[in-house]
A = this chain, B = another copy of it.
Amino acid sequence: MLRFAEAQQRVLSAVSPVGVERVPLAQANGRYLAQEITATLDLPPWDNSAMDGYALRAADLSRVPVMLTINEVLAAGHQTAAEVKEGTASAIMTGAPVPPGADTVVIVENTDGALSGSVRVLSQTPAGANIRRRGEDVRRGQSLLQRGRRLEAAEVGLLASLGQREVCVAKRPVVAILATGNELVQPGAALGPGQIYSSNTATLRGLVLQAGAEVLDLGAATDTQESVCAALRRASGADVIVTTGGVSAGVFDVVRAAFDELGVHWDFWKIKMKPGKPVAFGWLQEQADRSLVFGLPGNPVSCMVTFLQFVRPCLLSMVGDDKPFLPMIETIAGQAFQKKSERTEFVRVRLERQGRDWVCFSTGSQSSGVLTSMVSGDGFALLGEEVRAVAQGAPVRVQVYNPRLLHRAVEVDG
């Protein structure tokens, strides 16, 4: 059986980048840059005042207090300004361009008698004070953001300050999701004997959106090759196809047969991991277009674990993210962990802060049948193939999936 780490590498090797598109800045949040961003202008674009005050010549402050005649009042956005000559000053607002002749701004708090035609400057101010120089923050031609950068609020704001209205980003990968199983009933309907509610599509939708991709919901198919095939044909154009259920060893496993009928090239079918042993991976090639295909297990936890380990890295890698895996932290085992299998195990754990350490505890039941262990956990303790047991107090690496974990790092006293 294939080792976990090798399976992850094989998935990443099969990834090719999605296309690029230009989007308005208002739609750029959370997208990934497909171009390098180089400054197209100096920021600030001209010398301007960092404070409300008076623009003047430092030479006039050799003796203070000194009275200076006010030329005019310069607001931000002011476009022409009189020269500041000896013995004069121009009132200036934060952000307004420094007028010709002036080399210094004295802040309003160090003056007296403003706006009555003249101003008394009370204290000396070194030449150049309170002026933001053209290009001080960003120089035209300077490289600011690299390809593959995820655009958060600050990055989008920076693009706007350069005057960009649009930005070139990776397209969102489209992920077709198909649930399979005769036992599945849609939420909202009544549950008959032997039936359970279909929940994997709901979970996967959230995981796909979190990974910055789009969902193409193929609904649920019954356990016949025809039903699965018919649903999969509607996935045309998807970058990734994800099915859940129907990949284990049983005679009712028709997903594999359906994919075979469509011509999937299989890479692997089983992995030495727990939960999640039956995970299929391959691709459908249609001329230049390749759809990556993941057959995930039907158990809710197995489905989620295998998505996070294989499909999420695949989606992030497609858009150029250089950190496609869940972040990993060093923790201390808060309890002993036993391990029976020879597979890599992903134990759902809660993380507690104890002094400077993160300490991990099993969420209790590790049942893969329901998501309560995921909901109460913060991450996966990663127990490698060779591990048989972890003693209390031993180091354990944990992959973090709770985005809010850092809130537990320090108790803030208010």
10 sampled A-B residue pairs with Cβ under 8 A = A9-B414, A75-B252, A76-B223, A78-B194, A137-B365, A151-B206, A157-B199, A164-B188, A327-B410, A356-B356
Tell me whether B323 and A404 are in contact (CB under 8 A).
yes
Closest to A8 in B: B414
A contacts with B, residue count (CB < 8 A): 116
Closest to A154 in B: B374
Q: Tell me how many chains of this kind the complex includes.
A: 2
Assembly CA distance A323 to B188 (angstroms) = 32
Which one of A37-45, A60-68, A282-290, A336-344 is at the interface? A37-45
Within 8 Å by CB of A108, from B163, B183, B217, B249, lies B249
Which one of A88-96, A168-176, A256-264 is at the interface? A88-96
* Chain A, 177-226, CB within 8 A of any chain B CB: 181-189, 191-207, 209-210, 217, 222-223
User: Beta-carbon contacts of A152-164 to B below 8 Å, as 1s and 0s?
Assistant: 1111111111111
Q: Which residues of chain B have C-beta atoms less than 8 A from A29's C-beta?
A: 205-206, 209-210
Q: Which residues of chain B have C-beta atoms less than 8 A from A230's C-beta?
A: none
Within 8 Å by CB of A372, from B77, B158, B299, B357, lies B158
Tell me whether B194 and A96 are in contact (CB under 8 A).
yes
Pairs of residues from A and B, 9 with the lowest C-beta to C-beta distance, nearest first: A77-B182, A153-B206, A157-B203, A165-B188, A77-B183, A327-B406, A137-B370, A160-B202, A160-B199
User: Beta-carbon contacts of A15-50 to B below 8 Å, as 1s and 0s?
Assistant: 000000000011001000000000001011110001
